[in-house]
């Protein structure tokens, strides 16, 4: 983060969670010096921890874990230990012998008093001995503002203590408590819980909303490190993870992750430098973007097919990934996507007819996604989307070929193969066409039926078997159809909640998300965490959270390849639905 985006020192007294993202080099140096002075007195600090210089920290023992902070005007004395992701907010008091687990939030003006005075009648109180039973707080605990916790109390894992409470007795795990004295109100888990220690509940939107908010804070605090991990300073390129090949997609994934979590471009280059490197990769004759050559420069595309199209799946996907990355960087392609512009309506229809809708519906849908996205990019540049009538031919073909019983294109190849190709192809097709151009999908109720039937297939969605493509390809159709119908909305929400709980558990500190088990045919980068898995799961988590109703707690909304809805086209769109669609079946 450069000094141009820094803020006054006092800002971090009240918003210490922003220090890792917004501090200047001078402010970072001052923080390092402060922590060194405290460390000379016996304190220890985990990575990305922060202590406000306006806090009163006079401890005999202080251990502050990774991503934990003490805000301005807090008062901390005695023997205080805190795990990872803990916060002592402004004007809070933590004194005596206090032990905090991981993920503890202490609200402003609250007091944890891990000591006590004697008050026998034979002498003044200030002359009497102090006692220290100590306070123990477990993992994943939220202590609201103006709470007082008295000496000797243990607050169990996953508890929530309401604002203004006075806690005089132990609280068992998962308790929601409030009042003076504090009394248990309910079990935070509601109708069930995830495995012990996860910190994520299924007890309705309140608990799950807190969980996604904690996840987002955690991801944001580590985002810069994730990008550095995949950056090769020697070549000036990104790879999916250390040791993997440098690719165009990795660079685009880095841009999207930075936009989601840092609200900026990756810090390795300026926004203009990122954009210029990506723009330079576009082949000026075809408008496609081939994979990098071994020397890091633009690659070579295969010869065109008889209809003028260039069959290169990687270059086709780059129409999406590079185009959206340039959007986020405030730029555009240098050239129109000429292979789209040159395809006449009759050749387009012939190509659509020839795609493998029954055997490889995902490949067919991916081709439609590329062509439609290329048309969209051409409109942005003020060029024709395609040859006259081609864009209208696309939507006309889709409108007349959709199956009214499934709401999809193609069919399941066999009962043993299930609906995987059918549903995954539907996502790619509608992402680039209906969603991108802001049109309603046909037969949304049938879409929901088809997608929920597929989402219950344990081959793809049992715990530990999910990969990013398969979960995304259910979550987005449920979200997209859900903009038009409430059909089976409770079931869609229940599916999303189950998947969201499991998705949040997949984050790996310092490395991000892995894609997951390889997809059909061995596709995908595998289980190891990297940029592709991180970019995809961040978008998936937003979609799942929005289906559940807690997406606002994430603090981000996807704007790249996996964004939920249409962007505003600068030129024109399809004026209307090409044919009337009867959704009443």
d(CA 212, CA 48): 20
Residue 32's Cβ-count burial label (10 Å; 0-12, 13-18, 19+) is exposed
Helices (H), 311-419: 313-328, 338-341, 345-354, 361-380, 390-401
Are residues 447 and 426 in contact, defined by beta-carbon separation less than 8 angstroms?
yes
Catalytic residues: 117
Residue 393 contacts residue 348 (beta carbons within 8 Å): yes
Nearest to 322 by CA among 299, 295, 352: 299
β 237-238/231-232 pair status: antiparallel
For helices 420-430 and 361-380, angle between their N-to-C axes, nearest 10 degrees:
10
Residue that has been written with the tokens 């990355």 in this structure: 325
For tokens 């001078």, what's the residue?
26
Cα–Cα distance between 319 and 378 in angstroms, integer? 11
Q: For 466, what's the count of Cα atoms within 13 Å in the CB-facing half-sphere? A: 27
Q: How many CB atoms lie within 10 A of CB 31?
A: 20
Query: Which residue in this structure is represented by tokens 């103006």?
Result: 146
**Helix, strand, or coil (residue 261):** helix
Quote the CA–CA distance of 552 and 257 in Å, as a whole number.
Answer: 18
Instruction: Encode burial over 520-546: b for 16+ CB neighbours within 10 A, e otherwise.
Output: beeebbbbebbbbbbbbbbbbbbbbbb
The total number of residues written for the chain in this structure: 585
């Amino acid at each position: 983060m450069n000094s141009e985006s820094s803020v006054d020192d006092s800002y971090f007294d009240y918003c210490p969670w922003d220090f890792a993202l917004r501090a200047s080099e001078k402010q970072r140096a001052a923080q390092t010096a402060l922590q060194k002075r405290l460390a000379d007195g016996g304190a220890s600090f985990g990575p990305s921890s922060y202590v406000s210089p306006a806090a009163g920290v006079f401890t005999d023992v202080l251990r502050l874990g990774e991503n934990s902070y003490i805000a301005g005007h807090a008062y901390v004395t005695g023997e205080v230990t805190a795990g990872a992701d803990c916060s002592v907010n402004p004007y809070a008091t933590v004194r005596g012998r206090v032990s905090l687990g991981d993920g503890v939030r202490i609200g402003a003006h609250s007091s944890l008093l891990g000591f006590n005075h004697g008050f026998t009648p034979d002498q003044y109180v200030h002359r009497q001995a102090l006692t220290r039973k100590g306070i123990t707080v477990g993992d994943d605990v939220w202590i609201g503002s103006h709470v007082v916790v008295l000496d000797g109390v243990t607050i169990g894992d996953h508890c929530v203590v309401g604002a203004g409470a006075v806690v005089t007795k132990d609280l068992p795990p998962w308790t929601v408590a409030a009042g003076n004295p504090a009394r248990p109100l309910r079990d935070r888990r509601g109708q069930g819980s995830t495995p012990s220690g996860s910190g994520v509940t299924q007890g309705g939107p309140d608990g799950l909303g807190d969980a996604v908010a904690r996840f987002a804070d955690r991801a944001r605090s580590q985002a810069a490190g994730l990008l550095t991990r995949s950056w090769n300073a020697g070549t000036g390129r990104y790879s999916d993870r250390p040791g993997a090949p440098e690719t165009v997609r990795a660079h685009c994934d880095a841009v999207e992750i930075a936009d989601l979590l840092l609200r900026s471009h990756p810090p390795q280059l300026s926004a203009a430098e990122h954009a210029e490197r990506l723009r330079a990769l576009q082949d000026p004759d075809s408008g496609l973007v081939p994979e990098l050559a071994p020397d890091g420069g633009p690659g070579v595309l295969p010869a065109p097919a008889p209809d003028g199209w260039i069959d290169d799946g990687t270059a086709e996907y780059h129409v999406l990934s590079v185009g959206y990355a340039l959007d986020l960087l405030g730029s555009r392609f240098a050239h129109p996507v000429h292979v789209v512009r040159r395809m006449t309506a009759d050749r387009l229809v012939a190509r659509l007819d020839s795609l493998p809708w029954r055997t490889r519906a995902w490949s067919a849908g991916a081709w439609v996604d590329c062509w439609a996205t290329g048309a969209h990019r051409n409109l942005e540049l003020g060029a024709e989307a395609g040859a006259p009538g081609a864009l209208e031919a696309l939507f006309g073909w889709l409108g007349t070929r959709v199956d009214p019983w499934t709401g999809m294109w193609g069919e399941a190849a066999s009962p043993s193969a299930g609906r995987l190709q059918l549903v995954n192809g539907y996502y790619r097709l509608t992402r680039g066409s209906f969603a991108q151009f802001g049109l309603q999908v046909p037969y949304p109720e049938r879409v929901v039926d088809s997608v929920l039937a597929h989402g219950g297939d344990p081959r793809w969605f049992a715990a530990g078997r999910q990969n990013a493509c398969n979960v995304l390809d259910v979550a987005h159709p449920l979200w997209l159809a859900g903009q038009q119908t409430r059909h089976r909305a409770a079931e869609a929400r229940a599916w999303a909640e189950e998947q969201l709980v499991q998705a949040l558990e997949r984050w790996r500190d310092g490395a991000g998300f892995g894609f997951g088990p390889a997809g059909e045919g061995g596709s995908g980068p595998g289980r190891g965490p990297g940029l592709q898995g991180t970019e995809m799961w961040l978008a998936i988590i937003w979609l799942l959270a929005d289906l559940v109703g807690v997406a606002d707690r994430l603090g981000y909304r996807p704007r790249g390849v996996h964004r939920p809805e249409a962007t505003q086209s600068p030129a024109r769109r399809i004026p209307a639905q090409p044919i009337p669609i009867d959704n009443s079946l």
